[in-house]
Structure 1
Amino acid sequence: MANFKLTNPWARNPWFETVAEAQRRAKQRLPKSVYLSLVAGTQGGITVNDNVDAFSEIGFAPHVVGAQDERDMSTSVMGVDLSFPVMISPTGVQAVDKDGEVAVARAAAARGTAMGLSSFASHPIEEVTAVNDKIFFQIYWLGTKEEILARAERAREAGAKGLIVTTDWVFNIGRDWGSPEIPEKMDLKALIRLAPEVAVKPRYAWDWFNKGNLTIPDLTAPNVSHGKGLPGPTFFGAYGEWMNTPSPTWEDLEWLREQWGGPFMVKGITRIDDAKRAVDIGATAISVSNHGGNNLDGTPATIRLLGPIADAVGKDVDVLLDGGIRRGSDVAKAVALGAKAVMVGRAYLWGLAANGQAGVENVLDLLRMGLDGVLMGTGHKSVHDLSRDDLILPEGFERSYGG
């Protein structure tokens, strides 16, 4: 009897030329609720849109002669070497691909860069560090101090190179056009309710069906378990506990930094005075971030805030930018304004949704190529040579407060 092998009827040329094309393919493949979870912001979406649009207001001042034949894009963040100044920003449960964070970690490793792993990830940190030795573990201030420290110690044992403490979030603020309804867990009731969405996105269902075994998306948070070896809570169980944990003070963050004793990033900085407080508590790095537009709506785009913050503390800590990166030229603009590197979120998630690990690698390649083009056009040998002199900044572009 001849062997019979199913082939994917939705197979196509896997390479995409732009991050926008990755987003289009992600929207085409994913059920509506899943896709909307990748693009949602808070309230009117003012900040999430400005994060992206602000980059288009910055121009370049290129040189027409003197392009360098060899261009070096390597850098480091919190003592970890990166092949170019782009790393993966931590994002929660990644039900856009069955391999989730493990696929992303493999892609980052293949391109020589680091990954921030969310506490709300769908795969245990041990599985992620097994495929990429450049992992920073992201922590929410969730639970007791003892529980927070236990999660940090678990990350240390797994090989995490540093901690990222996320502070930029406002709870219970939905977007004007409505936030997607995500089930508490993927049980039979949830599968029945979501069936109409999945039915019109057959490729998504196909990709979760592997060699006769249906793999149901995992909506638990194994890295927030209340003891080593114990199962993690559901995503919303962990989220609820986070909502009901009192917010940390600067003294709390300093305590955690001291207990951790290694590279330590404070994510969510948008004010100069907060940046200086992060320096005072001994942080190794800060991320100028508004949680991708999921913080307080009306907060300016992070690229508008980056320069003044980098000018104030860039000699004391590694300054990163998170928010709105869609092209390699965006990376170049951020570096020119003082960022050591950028963190990307939605862009790599669209790549993951479009083509799994290869799609994430595709996105990273696009960012690298775009950055290399800027170095060529500005006549620089190294990414570290980029500066404000390479940019055309419109009057009033930058925002500065808390100084």
Structure 2
Amino acid sequence: MRNGTVPPRGLELSHAVNVEDVRAIANRRLPAAVSDFIDGGGEGEITLHRNRHSLDAIMFRPRALSDASTRTLATTMLGTPVSAPLALAPVGLAALAHPLGERAAALAAAGAGIVSTLSSSSCWSLEEVAEATPDAPKWFQIYVWRDRGITSDVVQRARASGYKALVVTVDVPVGARRERDLHNGFTIPPRPTWRHTGDMLGHLPWVARFGWDEMFGHGLTMGNFGGKAAVTQRMAFMERVNQRFDPGMTWDDLEWLRSLWDGPMVVKGITNERDAAEAVARGIDAVWVSNHGGRQLDGLPATIDVLPAVVDAVDGKAEVYMDGGIRRGSDIAKALARGARICMIGRPYIYGLAAKGQAGVTKVIELLKEQLDNTLALLGCASVEALDQDWLRS
């Protein structure tokens, strides 16, 4: 294992000391094809691994005798107070990890005082998640689909349900070739093949939780399309994306979405400064630096490497967020020092879901906050707001 010690066999969630420990627990509970769907990236997974390698390569420059006896992680996110510079990114089909999926994740985020972003590809509907967390700050993520009527309807439902910001993902014009999924014959909804029978038999608790009907009968529910409608037609994830998503989306479509939404708007999937500058010119409130966790175009730079150029291009006219490879509180500190306001996590909280539902997500958030606080103390920095490039070696 990279970037940490090997977790002991039989490790329980209460004894997990980092995200990799939680991941190890999750992988014990999940069939291999599902773990691969969560962990995998596009094609050769170069971008996926680059995200981590680039974070690992950054070195700190601490300050001695600088009184970090009192530290604060608190900050704001588009004006909303949050307990830490951390938020949950949108992850589709989270119920593959745990039946309570997105609902459990939103409840954990609400309890921790951070923002959760619901995927439009969620298994729980946006209304159900909103009802479960009525007072918590929630954002909603959307794509521009070929059917603009569906797009408009979902946006209006999100507004009516009290979601505070709309996150538009722009880096999925078509589905990527995820070779782990292709090798596994992974479909949505999942259907085990004879090749996977032994692995499924070794994960009967997951089969019981996920439901035999989901795998062999009525399909995986997609909460935001026709209520709790089932996805009954099995197909590769890439095929499903290509059937629904619109590769012809332009900046004008972003303007159209703005006309439907009167709250803050965030553009997710930016990896170059020209697009960041265009987003700002179009009145976008926040730019989300993301390469989709390495799951889309392979061969992109790490998000931490393009972050400074994007921050410069935005020039303080919008907030800047980042995801990609975040596994430790020290990673969050590095991203903040390079100009991000908030770090988003996806896979880490899905590991938590698989490990123990809402309690697992809470554990991951707590670990990252504890590690970030410890990093600030060791740096000699009293606040996340004080982090800048001077805390890093060039």
Structure 1 residue 233: deviation in Å?
4.9
Quick one: which amino acid aligns to residue 201 of structure 2? Answer: A
Q: Is the 8 A contact 1:67 1:378 kept in 2?
A: no
Quick one: which amino acid aligns to residue 292 of structure 1? Answer: G
Tell me, in whole angstroms, the C-alpha distance in 1 between the residues paired with 2:349 and 2:221: 21
Structure 1 residue 48: deviation in Å?
0.3
Structure 2 match to 1:77: 77
Structure 1 match to 2:229: 231
Unaligned runs of 5+ in 1: 1-9, 394-403
Quick one: which amino acid aligns to residue 241 of structure 2? Answer: Y
Change (3 A) 1:103 1:314: farther
Structure 2 match to 1:267: 268
Tell me, in whole angstroms, the C-alpha distance in 1 between the residues paired with 2:337 and 2:76: 16
Out of 376-385 and 168-177, give the one that drifted further: 168-177
Change (3 A) 1:242 1:363: same
Q: Is the 8 A contact 1:329 1:370 kept in 2?
A: yes
Q: Is the 8 A contact 1:168 1:291 kept in 2?
A: yes
Structure 1 match to 2:107: 106
1:181 equivalenced with 2:182 (yes/no): no
Q: Is the 8 A contact 1:170 1:296 kept in 2?
A: no
Q: Is the 8 A contact 2:13 2:355 kept in 1?
A: no
1:343 equivalenced with 2:344 (yes/no): yes
Q: Deviations over 1:324-354 (max 9, x none)?
A: 1000000011111111101101111111111
Structure 2 match to 1:26: 26
3-state SS of the aligned residue for 1:363? helix
Structure 1 match to 2:164: 161
Quick one: which amino acid aligns to residue 328 of structure 1? Answer: G
Q: TM-score, normalised by structure 2?
A: 0.88
Structure 2 match to 1:278: 279
Structure 1 match to 2:327: 326
Structure 1 residue 372: deviation in Å?
0.7
Tell me, in whole angstroms, the C-alpha distance in 2 between the residues paired with 1:13 and 1:322: 24
Structure 1 match to 2:257: 256
Change (3 A) 1:145 1:174: closer
Change (3 A) 1:101 1:389: same
Q: Is the 8 A contact 2:156 2:260 kept in 1?
A: no
Tell me, in whole angstroms, the C-alpha distance in 2 between the residues paired with 1:251 and 1:13: 47
3-state SS of the aligned residue for 1:17? coil
Structure 1 residue 258: deviation in Å?
2.6
Aligned ranges 1:85-96 → 2 under 5 Å: 85-94=85-94, 95-96=96-97
Quick one: which amino acid aligns to residue 231 of structure 1? Answer: A
CA RMSD between the two structures? 2.3
Tell me, in whole angstroms, the C-alpha distance in 1 between the residues paired with 2:176 and 2:241: 14
Tell me, in whole angstroms, the C-alpha distance in 1 between the residues paired with 2:290 and 2:376: 25
Structure 1 match to 2:145: 142
Structure 1 residue 192: deviation in Å?
7.4
Quick one: which amino acid aligns to residue 202 of structure 1? Answer: L
**Runs of 4 or more above 6 Å deviation:** none
Structure 1 residue 196: deviation in Å?
3.3
Q: Is the 8 A contact 2:303 2:323 kept in 1?
A: yes
3-state SS of the aligned residue for 1:338? coil
Q: Deviations over 1:255-302 (max 9, x none)?
A: 211321211000010111100111111111111000000121110000
Structure 1 residue 146: deviation in Å?
2.7
Out of 304-313 and 72-81, give the one that drifted further: 72-81
Aligned length, in residue pairs: 373
Structure 2 match to 1:171: 174
Out of 39-48 and 62-71, give the one that drifted further: 62-71
1:305 equivalenced with 2:306 (yes/no): yes
Structure 1 residue 134: deviation in Å?
1.5
Tell me, in whole angstroms, the C-alpha distance in 1 between the residues paired with 2:186 and 2:31: 11
Q: TM-score, normalised by structure 1?
A: 0.86
Tell me, in whole angstroms, the C-alpha distance in 2 between the residues paired with 1:391 and 1:53: 16
Quick one: which amino acid aligns to residue 287 of structure 1? Answer: W
3-state SS of the aligned residue for 1:130? helix
Q: Is the 8 A contact 1:141 1:247 kept in 2?
A: no
Quick one: which amino acid aligns to residue 229 of structure 2? Answer: P
1:295 equivalenced with 2:308 (yes/no): no
Change (3 A) 1:170 1:196: farther
Structure 2 match to 1:42: 42
Tell me, in whole angstroms, the C-alpha distance in 1 between the residues paired with 2:22 and 2:11: 15
Change (3 A) 1:215 1:323: same
Q: Is the 8 A contact 2:321 2:342 kept in 1?
A: yes
3-state SS of the aligned residue for 1:21? helix
Q: Is the 8 A contact 1:89 1:116 kept in 2?
A: yes
Select 1:199's aligned residue among 176, 192, 201: 201
Q: Is the 8 A contact 1:265 1:284 kept in 2?
A: yes
Q: Is the 8 A contact 2:116 2:139 kept in 1?
A: yes
Change (3 A) 1:375 1:14: closer
Q: Deviations over 1:130-187 (max 9, x none)?
A: 233221111011133332111100011111111111111263542455534333436x
Quick one: which amino acid aligns to residue 40 of structure 1? Answer: G
Unaligned runs of 5+ in 2: 1-9
Tell me, in whole angstroms, the C-alpha distance in 1 between the residues paired with 2:16 and 2:43: 31
Change (3 A) 1:151 1:173: closer
Quick one: which amino acid aligns to residue 84 of structure 2? Answer: F
Quick one: which amino acid aligns to residue 30 of structure 2? Answer: L
